Amino acid sequence: MSLFVAQDLVKRFGGLVATDHVSLSVEPGEVHALIGPNGAGKSTLVNLISGLLAADGGSIVLDGVELTSLSAHDRVRHGLSRCFQITSVFRGDSVLDNLLLAAQAHSRSSFRCFGRRAGESALRERALELAHTVGLADMLDRVAGTLPHGVQRKLDVALALAARPKLLLLDEPMAGMGPEDSQQMVELIARLRSEAAILLIEHDMDAVFQLADRISVLDYGKVLASGDTAYIREHPEVQAVYLGVEEVR
Amino acid sequence: MDSIFVFEQLLNGLGFGLMLFLLAAGLTLVFGIMDTMNLAHGSLYMAGAYIAARVHEAGGSFVGAVLVAVVATVLVAFVLELLIVRRLYARDHLAQVIATFGVILIADDAVKAIWGPSPVMATTPAALAGPVQLLPELPYPAYRLVLLAVGLLVAIGLYVLVNHTRVGMLVRAGASNRKMAEFMGVRVGRVFSFVFALGAALAALAGALMGPISAVQIGMGEAILIPALVVIVIGGIGSVRGAFVAALLVGLVDTAGRAFLPPLLRSVLPPALAADLGPALAGIAMYVLMAAVLILKPAGLFPARA
Amino acid sequence: MSDKLHSAAIPSSGGVARWLPWALLVVLALLPIVGAELGLDYYVGFVRRMLIVMIAATSLNFILGYGGMAALGHAGFIGVGAYTVVALVDAGVSSAWTAWGAAVLVSGAIAALIGAVSLRTRGVYFLMITLAFAQMLYYLAVSLSAYGGDDGYGLYSPLELGFGRTTGNAALFFWIVLAIAALVFAFASRAAVSRFGLALTGIRDNETRMEALGYPVYRLKLAAFTGAGALAGLAGALLASHNNFVSPSTMHWTESATLLVMVVLGGLGRRWGAVLGVAVWLALSEVLKLYTEYWHWPLGLMLIAVVFAAPRGLAGVFDRRRAVQ
């Protein structure tokens, strides 16, 4: 049985159908990549799945739990966590405080207004563990907004990992990265696949073909093709709308 | 409550709505283009009212007084923009609220120092003091008719300016997408100075015209500012068309509430309760309207931004 | 390590931060005794009013400074608290504790209702809708002819505090207000570095990310808004007893704006921000009124100066660490 199934997702903005009956599944332990040209509706789809946008139709099921009508934060609690295309960290806070905030969301109540959070050792341990996972253990005190782009992206991933997600949505994790940072991110994602299934939205074809077990191609809000890497590579329509463009570049 | 009374109240509501529109048009454009919240807009209205009342009293010509009031207020607004508002564009709304609230405090004291603490009597021009027989049964103050006419004319003029001139195109471009407009080479700064002056002129005009039918006193700017803000929020910030529709809506709802609600309540509720509730509900009407609009359309009726 | 960063919210030298509140508390506690000796009763009353306003300002600082919710209707909750006292006194209640307690509950409940609707909007729209609700409360108070309508309602006999004492005992009432203000200040300081406060700060800084981290953002904001409304109601109840009078003007929108101004003046999201802002604003008003009837414009000028010269507020001026950042 698939870990994650999105069925017939629809999203309209006025007359524009940004997501047109998209169905998608992710198997346990799988890296499923979602590619497509700019404006194909990838970001809309990620927002529908993560719950930041309300879908006009369709259903979402993760690990047997129907998530369709749940709010974004409740989906996270059920194991669906995400990163952002535009790095979304708490820029004024230290790396450690970023991680503490992420860890806090998943341990006990955030409505407690007595007691210093700084004194909670369990939270701190979890934050350090997350820092180790993404390789940020030696910059805990640095203010997030002052870190290089690639490091901020790692922090973004670490924030998403705090939920111990069953499915991790990575929205263009390599966006704006140089080759060196990209390679580090590829290695990080490869390591993460043992912890969670991954839905990877990415422009960087090298990364996609290195990491993905399966690829779905999105064009004009529809799934154009879906299959393993070889199948997608050879798919004539995909070559026409997408890979062809890549090669010309 | 006969139909003549209803008609008369509708006219009053329309007049109030049009005056609100004069205030709200400038406010919504300043807000829409430069994302700047200017609480001192009401102070410009107050300046217009005071100057017009005083000049009219001294010089005798009402039209001349209104013109002087508009020109003088635009000059004040020019200085205000140069010294303070211009430096607030890049700041957050809170900083804008605080600084322009400071301007209100200064303006109120300035008016007190120049014209004294007590309200000023603004006289209706003699030629318009009498009523006009609109219908056999309905005499209507000539001055209020002129108010309606001027309000409508200005609204049409503004519509033409915004929708059918080059300046208007720049203004609309700035309001709907400032970054893009800048990218396309629109000098938003200059457009803004123009809009700010235009808004000041309209506020002064509204103040000068409202003077004879309302109290010209310190605090009148703060009192009218809130309905004007309600109008731009209902209309959708940055939208002149929205401000027009919303201003008429608010004008009608407010006037109708005051005129019709108390008698209506008296007919269904015990008199003591009706006497209590009537004015409250009338005062609340426009806020209920705004809350309802925001719940249904969180960015107002005509959102200027996509 | 993380403590260091957060301590930016506390004055930079740790020693001062520790003893200053206590020293202040002792000085203030001695005030009624010293004041009575020197015949400065008026100023004891003035400080009492200041302490009450500080409670309201602290509650606003919590939602605005830490939570990023720019509410322009906070005076509405002060009014709800004050009118709850009026309603209970009118109905024959004479215990201060009952009246004040009820004020907290009622204003908290009203704040929960208003917040539930308002928090669905953002930014300027939030500012305006909170203002709209406060205006509704204002007109409601104007229409309550049983409680004096526009003219207000005089509370002619002081409320009972137990053991035969009443709020008419100026010194005792002062100490009670001081104790409540100190507790509110201590609570707000603790809450700011608690799980709840830090979650709220996270929402202020990046609401979408907080939602995506799994935080129930709306409910957290609503809880903060409700708590702040309840505290503002408490301030309103104390203010009613302080003035022995309540009128709708307590809820006028300029009162909400002034409260906002005091908090920003002092320093948004700073531990001492609300306290400092209220103290400076009210003291300056009081002094200016002694010398001139034109006492508004210097305050206006000060606001403009603060916006341009000290955008972090007065508390930020003393706090070099953040300024360097």
* Distance of alpha carbon C183 from alpha carbon C241, whole angstroms: 19
Tokens representing A166?
Answer: 């069953």
DSSP H or E run through A125: helix A121-134
Residues in chain C closer than 8 A to A72 (CB atoms): 211-212
Helix axes B93-115, B220-235, angle to 10 degrees: 150
Whether the CB-CB separation of C285 and C302 falls below 8 Å is answered with: no
Whether the CB-CB separation of C78 and C239 falls below 8 Å is answered with: yes
CATH code of A198's domain: 3.40.50.300
Nearest one of C128, C124, C130, C125 to C111, comparing CA atoms: C130
Q: Which domain holds residue C176?
A: 10-250
Nearest to B109 among C135, C265, C297 (CB): C297
Higher per-residue pLDDT: C60 or A43: C60
- Provide the mean pLDDT of chain A: 84
Residue contact C196–A140, C-beta within 8 A: no
Tokens representing C213?
Answer: 């981290």
* Distance of alpha carbon C231 from alpha carbon C100, whole angstroms: 11
pLDDT of residue C3: 38
Q: What percent of chain A has pLDDT over 90?
A: 2
The answer to whether A117 contacts chain C (CB < 8 Å) is yes
* Distance of alpha carbon B158 from alpha carbon B241, whole angstroms: 10
Helix axes C253-266, C296-309, angle to 10 degrees: 50
Nearest one of B28, B7, B20 to B209, comparing CA atoms: B20
Residues in chain C closer than 8 A to A77 (CB atoms): 214
| The pairing of beta strand A197-201 with beta strand A167-171 | parallel
Residues in chain C closer than 8 A to A106 (CB atoms): 214
Higher per-residue pLDDT: B180 or B210: B210
Beta strands in chain B (DSSP E): 131-135, 138-141
Backbone torsions φ then ψ of B136, nearest 5 degrees: -50, -35
Whether pLDDT at A246 is above 70: no
Residues in chain B closer than 8 A to C307 (CB atoms): 88, 91, 95, 98-99, 102
* Distance of alpha carbon A101 from alpha carbon C275, whole angstroms: 28
Whether the CB-CB separation of C211 and A72 falls below 8 Å is answered with: yes
Number of domains in chain C: 1
Instruction: For chain C, give the longest Cα–Cα distance.
Output: 60
Whether pLDDT at B45 is above 50: yes
**Residue C260 covered by a domain:** no
Query: How many CB atoms are closer than 10 A to CB A118?
Result: 18
**Residue C36 covered by a domain:** yes
Tokens representing A46?
Answer: 């990620």
Backbone torsions φ then ψ of A199, nearest 5 degrees: -105, 115
Nearest to B101 among C122, C136, C257 (CB): C257
**Residue C3 covered by a domain:** no
| The pairing of beta strand A80-82 with beta strand B131-135 | unpaired
Give mean pLDDT, residues A21-42: 85
B159 Cβ contact list (under 8 Å, min separation 6) = B240, B241, B244
Q: What percent of chain B has pLDDT over 90?
A: 31
pLDDT of residue B306: 41
The answer to whether A91 contacts chain C (CB < 8 Å) is yes
pLDDT of residue C2: 39
The answer to whether A167 contacts chain C (CB < 8 Å) is no
CATH code of B95's domain: 1.10.3470
Q: Which domain holds residue A19?
A: 4-90+164-248
pLDDT of residue B185: 66
Nearest one of B14, B295, B73 to B202, comparing CA atoms: B73
Nearest to A73 among C205, C217, C223 (CB): C217
**Which one-letter DSSP state was computed for residue B125?**
P
Nearest to A105 among C193, C213, C223 (CB): C213
Rg (CA), chain B: 20
**Amino acid found at B33:** I
* Distance of alpha carbon C201 from alpha carbon C221, whole angstroms: 10
Backbone torsions φ then ψ of B216, nearest 5 degrees: -90, 105
Q: Which domain holds residue B171?
A: 12-122+136-296
Among residues 259-298 of chain B, which lie with CB inside 8 Å of chain C?
A: 272, 275-281, 283-284, 287-288, 290-291, 294-295, 298
Query: C312: distance to nearest CA of chain A, Å?
Result: 15
Assign B37 to helix, strand or coil. Answer: coil
**Residue A110 covered by a domain:** no
Looking at chain A, which subunits does it touch, using at least 3 CB pairs closer than 8 Å as the criterion?
C
* Distance of alpha carbon A48 from alpha carbon A42, whole angstroms: 10
Range of A164-173, B171-180, C150-159 with top mean pLDDT? A164-173
Instruction: Kindly report, residue by residue over A116-159, the tens digit of the pLDDT.
Output: 877 778 888 888 888 888 888 888 888 888 888 888 888 898 88
Whether pLDDT at B17 is above 70: yes
Nearest to C214 among A77, A90, A115 (CB): A77
Q: Residue holding tokens 């503490």?
A: A100
Give mean pLDDT, residues B35-39: 85
* Distance of alpha carbon C199 from alpha carbon C221, whole angstroms: 10
The answer to whether B90 contacts chain C (CB < 8 Å) is no
Q: Testing the interface with A: which of C7, C200, C209, C226 to mutate, by most A Cβ within 10 A?
A: C209
Helix axes C273-291, C41-61, angle to 10 degrees: 140
Whether the CB-CB separation of A32 and A24 falls below 8 Å is answered with: yes
How buried is B130 (Cβ within 10 angstroms: 0-12 exposed, 13-18 middle, 19+ buried)?
exposed
Instruction: Kindly report, residue by residue over B51-110, the tens digit of the pLDDT.
Output: 999 998 888 788 999 999 999 999 999 999 989 988 888 888 889 989 999 999 999 999
Number of domains in chain B: 1
Whether pLDDT at B255 is above 70: yes
Q: Over chain C (325 residues), what is each successive 10-residue block's mean pLDDT?
A: 39 64 83 80 88 95 89 93 93 88 96 91 85 90 82 82 80 91 91 90 91 92 96 95 90 90 88 89 91 90 90 74 43
Number of domains in chain A: 1
Whether the CB-CB separation of B5 and B134 falls below 8 Å is answered with: no
**Residue C58 covered by a domain:** yes
**Amino acid found at B136:** P
Nearest to C304 among B99, B229, B298 (CB): B99
> CA neighbours within 13 Å on the CB side: how many for B228?
33
Residues in chain A closer than 8 A to C206 (CB atoms): 88-90
* Distance of alpha carbon A21 from alpha carbon A48, whole angstroms: 12
The string of DSSP codes covering C301-325 is: HHHHHHHHH-TT-HHHHT-HHHHH-
**Residue B128 covered by a domain:** no
Instruction: Kindly report, residue by residue over A68-90, the tens digit of the pLDDT.
Output: 888 888 898 888 899 888 878 88
**Residue C4 covered by a domain:** no
pLDDT of residue C324: 42
Residue A246 to residues A199, A234, A243, B175, B209: CA-CA distances in angstroms?
A: 21, 14, 5, 37, 65
Residues in chain A closer than 8 A to C325 (CB atoms): 143
**Residue C325 covered by a domain:** no
Q: Testing the interface with B: which of C135, C137, C259, C289 to mutate, by most B Cβ within 10 A?
A: C135
The string of DSSP codes covering B141-159 is: EHHHHHHHHHHHHHHHHHH
What b-and-e string marks burial along A127-147, b requiring 16 or more CB atoms within 10 Å of the CB? bbebbebbebeebbeebbeeb
DSSP H or E run through C165: strand C165-166
Give mean pLDDT, residues B258-274: 79
